[in-house]
Structure 1
Amino acid sequence: MVRAGGRRQVDPCFEGCSWRTDLLLAVVCGVVYFKCLFYGITQSDDEVLITGSLPYLKNLANILTVFATDAFYQVKSIDLYRPLQSATFIIDAQWGMDTVLVAHGTNLLLHILSCLAVFRLFLLLNLRRQIALLGALVYATHYLFMTAVAWLPARGDLLLALFTFLTLITFIIQLETGKLRYYLYHGMFFTLAIFSKESAVVLPLLLYIYVWAYRKKDLLTRKKTAFLALYYAAVLTVYFMLKSAAVILYKGDTGIVPFLKNLRTLPEMVARFYLPVNMSTLPEYKLSATLAGVLVLVGLTALLWQARERVGREVLFAVAWFLLCILPGMAYFPLFYYFAYEHVDHRAYVTCFGLLLLNLQLVQAYGLDQKRYFNSVTLGLLLYLALFNLYYSGNYKDPAAFALRAIRTNPHSAQAFATYGTALHLQGRDDEALENLNRAIQIFRKYMPALHTRAEIYRLRGLNREALADLNTLLATDPEYSADDYYLRGLIRKELGDSAGAAADFNAALRLNPEHGGALDALGLAPQSTLNIDSPRRTGDGR
């Protein structure tokens, strides 16, 4: 706060806010998500991103190398680029504590900061304070946003949301005040958003739509427009240059056909915003959810048409936010959609902010916050959202819970059956594990995690030829998959009398992992050590 003309002037970023409001939002987030702090991993990308990469993460010097590697800390192993996500995992690993516990704490902290930013953004978007607070509390408790908080690999969506909100907040304040520091903040937050997740490329267009929808064109001079356009272009150029050097070319279908395949994403996400339908850790499309979403869209469209004279064109900004965030991702169909899931919920964390804003604009247009029952309805709504949040977040506490939820809601997911089969194997329940692993391989014959675990079980049971067949299929599918699989195949070949083949596999294991103790010992280069069958490997989806 500064003094001007003898009066205390409130910084636009904090106008309408108070420490009590911030404390309320933080406490609500903490109550709803406290149990998530003690969750483990789900064995769905987090075993690669965190527990299987601890030596890398604990080296603080790697915080710079993440800008030259893909999301799995390698060069050109997958097509995902998440440098800021990777950097925050490295920071998590520096505390000398359980890195998984710290990572869950960081996710919760990012969610709290996002809720504080959401409240401020709603105020800047001309919502009355009581409505803005309602919106922030809905954001804090909504079950649809739970996946991004409870599932550690969704860190990129949390970062994207926070820095997107801050990008818009500083843009609006900079327009209103002309203060240089908000200009600089805006550039910084835009850059951080871009390096959080590629979805942020829509931000320049979204900002322009805001200027038009809220009639701010007079505040955006030609000089500012040109400078911002050049800055956005420079950041995006650097981003895509770094990304192209770090990731493999995208593998999957793109264009109008994938868009049509994914068209049901739109109504299903809308449906789940209002009702907890088809809630899954690995969802597939459901006719009931699609039809529910279509009905909601029809009703929402009719309501907007009826309220067209009340809401003004500001409502188009909310619609644009939702569509710009959801439509680009619908234009591609990755290969893993065929064996993992058909759409995901963690992207709703950013996308459905637009849908929430739209609903709050309607609440304000009809003056519902002035009604006697408003506080009672608000409390009931928050309890409804929080209870479903608490119920569904339990699906992310461990691999078995994650996989069982997926199996119940998506019986066509090879990933779900393989994850559950691996969890059963680690519990020593190999008969049940084989049933689930066989089901995964029936769905997708070359699903590598299932082949890997089944080969381990076959090996333990003395079924070397069956194990060898699975390992041959796995390593033919991806020769870079895991050093452990080459080592295991080398042991089997040695027992079957294929000394040359065994030596080749042991050397291949050392090529992937020069410190692999088992391979070194097999070649007479190190003291004996055992195979680590729990070492991480890619699940094959890469969200």
Structure 2
Amino acid sequence: MGEKMFTAQGFLWHLKNNKWLQISLLIILPILVYIQCVKFDYTNFDDNGIIQQKFDIVGDIKKIDTAYKVDAFFNKNGDFYRPVQNITFMLDAQVSRDKLWMFHISNLVIHILTGIALYFFLLLLQPSRLVAFSLALLFSIHPLFASGVGWVPSRGDILIGLLGVLLFITFHHQIVKKSVVYFFLHSLTFLIILFTKETTILFPLLLIFYYFLVINPLPNHKKIMYHSLRLLPYLVVWAAATIFFFMMRSNVVANTGATADVLGIIPFFKNNTVVPTIIGKFFFPNNLSTFPLYNNFDTIIGSVFLIAIVFITIYFSAKKQWAVLLGLLWFLFFAVPPTIYRLQNADTFFNYLEHRTYLPMIGIVIILSFFLNEALKFSGAKKIFAAVYIPVLIVFGILAVRHAGDYKNSFTVRDRAAKLDNPSGLSGRAGEYLKKGDTLNALIDINKAIALNNKDATMYFERGKIMSKTQKHEEAEQNFTLALELQPNFADALLARSVEKRFLKKYEGAFRDVFRAATLDSTNPKVYNTFGNLFIEVKNYAEAVNSFSKSIKLQPKFADVYNNRAYASILLNDFKSAITDCHTALALMEKKPSPIVYNNLGHAYRELNIYDSAFYYFDKAIYLNKKFSQAYFERGIAKQKVNDLKGACNDWYESYSLGYSDTLKLSEKYCR
């Protein structure tokens, strides 16, 4: 048989019958598709809020008990309770700290284990080894699940996929083998899966169905009592775990303020196309998106396949092969309940997320395993299957590689959605262009986003930021006003408009906007930072320092505020405090120091007559930004103080050529 392995026929024979070769491929192919994810950066789509901004908790393993006391974003209260997900993130952080490579490796390992577990679970349902392997392999490289591996916050959904399959495997083996070990493993798995995501509370219903209609098909009435008693230990474990879960959850998810438009029957009816849509994308993974919206094509395709799935289920159920019905129930139990939640801006952001299809689609795979197992019994079917399956596998693999790449960083996530004319994707990409200083493309994107959706306050807010960046302060103010007309309690828009009013010297209106923002969000450090900058503008430097201090108290790692307080301290002639704040700001900025901080340091050291340090920091500021007009101006003053009048004049001339008008008087006085 060893020689036979090295022929094409021999390899196919092994591929069909060799369990270890099949498992090897279930490991190797997903690695080939998703290994790229290990190098992916933050997408700024939940991952930064969960990991980066909460790293004081995530990175400290001594705070692991915190995971049970907070929501999915490590906040004290919220709509979602995900302690197991939180713990896995904390464990990852012990390896790669706030870098994401370990988080992505964990997602990939979970996904690979899910494919292997699904393979063994399908074998328990008794399709052939070839069918179990083929479908498990297809699942493991399916492009619909690329978000599950490529996007770190999808951890909970892929984890319940793995745990859900293990729940059935341990249940099956305990019932068949009557092993206490499997009972313990099943109980532990159920407890873990409950604390991973709430929708898994429905698993006991599927397990009861599995027991009475799959493991013990329709036992006669005389044995109903026997089987019910046999299930009693499970019922006790399931009930106890569920009660414990809700007791713990009630401390976090309580009075979160979700309205009827966000949670309940209204969102359910608005999400009525989610079932055919995700089925359509499973069979025809076209236009996969990071921010998916409903479209007629996916709904129509999905409706056709849904009818086919229902027909297959009825066909096999009539033959008392109840595991097919289990598959349909599995799909519906985990695809439908999430539709009771819907974002208020769902139609312009996302109607659903593709990683949420991970668990439900296992039900579809179960149904397909019976259909395929039956179809392959016909003469010549295996040749047709090979001719279709292999190209599909290749195409799906390529699509999975491409779609996983959409989660590479914050730009690619938004770029993919923008290419599909998603308004929020366009708005987000505009923001990414703005970060790069590309205001032209940013404006093109945001104008297109507003044309597609002119009722979203965030769109005008983003356009206001672009106008501000291009120094068009009146237009920026107008856009922030439009945002506030649509969303009067938009605190960030109030703060942004206040900044524009400051530039336009509308100080009374600027203060009024900040005060209003403070009433809406008094714990927002940006409020007091904005106050501080306003107080500097009206020359109340002591109150500016006080405001910046309040901001720092709320957010001790707010680097820009330390720098702002340093500048206010300089204006108060408190140069030593300014130096301390500047060094704190630089420490927080790590690898991305701001030239403004170096300029402030140079200014402070100059006023203390420590000129070597002053020149050192002015030089660093100009090195980082060759067009930093104020740094040339300040360095010129330092040179004039050490009697280097020629050097001072050169710096002032450069500063003036860059648009810094304050240099004119000094140039006229000293540089004739």
Partner AA of 1:510 in structure 2: I
1:311–1:361: 8 Å Cα contact kept in structure 2?
no
| Cα distance in 1, alignment partners of residues 467 and 530 from structure 2 | 12
Bigger proportion of residues as helix: 2
Q: For residues 256-275 of structure 1, what are the structure 2 equivalents within 5 Å?
A: 256-275=265-284
- Are 2:317 and 2:324, in contact at CA under 8 Å, matched by a contact in 1? no
Aligned positions, number: 516
Q: Which residue of 2 aligns with 1:390?
A: 401
**Distance apart, 1:123 and its partner CA:** 1.0
Contact 1:339 1:444 in 2 (8 A): no
Q: Does 1:527 align with 2:538?
A: no
Q: Tell me the equivalent position of 2:56.
A: 55
Alpha-carbon deviations, 1:105-159, whole Å to 9, x = none? 1111111111111111111122221111111101111111111111111011111
Residue identity opposite 1:28 in structure 2: L
Instruction: Find the aligned partners of 2:373 and 2:139 in 1 and give their Cα distance.
Output: 17
Q: Which amino acid letter does the alignment assign opposite residue 551 of structure 2?
A: A
Among 453, 468, 473, which residue is 1:458 paired with? 468
Gaps of 5+ in 2: 1-16, 478-494, 500-512, 570-576, 591-672
Letter in 2 for 1:469: R
Letter in 2 for 1:140: S
Structure 1 residues 297 and 109 mapped into 2: Cα distance closer, same or farther (>3 Å)? same
C-alpha contact 1:437 1:454 (8 A) present in aligned 2: no
Asked whether the 8 Å contact 1:451–1:470 carries over to 2, the reply is no
Q: 2:458 aligns with which of 438, 447, 450?
A: 447
Instruction: Rate the CA distance shift 1:192–1:477 in 2: closer, same or farther, 3 A.
Output: farther
1:513 to 1:456, Cα distance in 2 relative to 1, 3 A: farther
Q: Is 1:43–2:52 an aligned residue pair?
A: no
Q: Tell me the SS of whatever aligns to 1:24.
A: helix
User: 1:399 is matched with which residue?
Assistant: 410
The 2-side partners of 1:506 and 1:462 are apart by: 27
- Aligned with residue 237 of structure 1, among 238, 243, 246: 243
In 2, the alpha carbon distance for the partners of 1:50 and 1:81 equals 16
Shift of 1:341: 1.1
- Given residue 527 of structure 1, which amino acid in structure 2 is its aligned partner? D
Work out whether residues 122 and 369 of structure 2, in 8 Å CA contact, stay in contact via their aligned partners in 1. Answer: no
Judged with a 3 Å threshold, the aligned counterparts in structure 2 of structure 1 residues 341 and 436 are, in CA distance, closer, same or farther, namely same
Which of 43-52 and 514-523 deviates more?
A: 514-523
- The whole-number CA distance in structure 1 between the counterparts of 2:45 and 2:270 is 24
Q: Would the aligned equivalents of 2:267 and 2:341 in 1 still touch at CA under 8 Å?
A: yes
> Do the aligned partners of 2:280 and 2:302 also contact (CA within 8 Å) in 1?
yes
Aligned to 2:148: 148
Deviation, structure 1 residue 183? 0.2
Distance in 2 of aligned mates of 1:113 and 1:230? 29
Aligned residue type for 1:458: S
2:365 to 356, 362, 369: 356
- Asked whether the 8 Å contact 2:446–2:462 carries over to 1, the reply is no
Q: How does 1:351-500 map to 2 (within 5 A)?
A: 351-368=360-377, 371-373=381-383, 374-413=385-424, 416-434=425-443, 436=445, 443=454, 445-447=456-458, 451=461, 455=465, 458=468, 461=471, 463=473, 466=477, 468-469=496-497, 472=513, 475=517, 479=521, 482-484=524-526, 486-496=528-538
Helix, strand or coil at the partner of 2:157: helix
- Could you state the TM-score of these two structures normalised by the residue count of structure 1? 0.85
- Supply the distance in 1 between the matched residues of 2:378 and 2:65 (Cα, whole angstroms): 48
Aligned-partner Cα distance in 2 for 1:98–1:514: 18
Deviations 1:322-356 (A, max 9, x none): 00001111123233425421111111111111011
SS in 2 for 1:347: helix
Higher radius of gyration, 1 or 2: 2
1:79 counterpart SS class: coil
Q: Please give the secondary structure, in 2, of the residue aligned with 1:334.
A: coil
Q: Are the aligned partners of 1:252 and 1:332 in contact in 2 as well (CA < 8 Å)?
A: no
AA in 2 matched with 1:127: P
Does residue 298 in structure 1 map to residue 307 in structure 2? yes
1:307 Cα deviation after fit: 5.6
Decide which moves more: 132-141 or 325-334.
325-334
Q: 1:243 to 1:433 in 2, by over 3 A?
A: farther
CA contact (8 A) 1:194 1:200 kept: yes
* CA RMSD between the two structures: 3.4
Relative contact order, higher structure (CA 8 A, sep 6+): 1
- For residues 82 and 463 of structure 2, what CA distance do their matches in structure 1 show? 28
Asked whether the equivalents of residues 60 and 91 of structure 1 are also in contact (C-alpha less than 8 Å), the reply is yes
Indicate yes or no: 2:256 matched with 1:255. Answer: no
In the alignment, is the contact (CA less than 8 A) between 2:30 and 2:140 conserved in 1? yes
Partner of 1:3 in structure 2? none
Instruction: Go from structure 1 to structure 2 and tell me whether the alpha carbon gap of 1:293 and 1:250 turns closer, same or farther (over 3 Å shift).
Output: farther
Task: Answer whether contact 1:60 1:94 (CA < 8 A) is retained.
Answer: yes
Closer, same or farther in 2 for the Cα pair 1:358/1:96, shift >3 Å? closer
Distance 1:209-1:468 versus aligned 2 partners, 3 A rule: same
Deviation at 1:490, TM superposition (A): 2.9
Amino acid at match of 2:109: L
Moved more, 47-56 or 520-529: 520-529
- Post-superposition shift, 1:70? 1.1
5 Å-filtered alignment, 1:44-123, equals 44-76=45-77, 78-96=78-96, 99-123=99-123
3-state secondary structure, aligned to 1:74: coil
TM-score with structure 2 length normalisation? 0.70
Alpha-carbon distance in 2 for matches of 1:185, 1:404: 44
CA distance in 2, matches of 1:499, 1:338: 46
Instruction: Name the CA distance, whole Å, in 1 between partners of 2:150 and 2:24.
Output: 21
Q: Which amino acid aligns with 1:226?
A: L
CA distance in structure 1 between the partners assigned to 2:426 and 2:455 by the alignment: 11
Determine the C-alpha separation between the residues in 2 that align with 1:315 and 1:112: 24
**Residue matched to 1:227:** 233
**1:270-316: CA deviation from partner (whole Å, max 9, x where unpaired):** 11111023421101111121122112222333455556555732211
1:477 and 1:28 mapped to 2: Cα distance? 55
Measured at CA, do residues 28 and 468 of structure 1 come closer, stay the same or move farther in structure 2, by a change above 3 Å? closer
| Residues 439 and 470 in structure 2, CA contact (< 8 A), matched pair in contact too | no
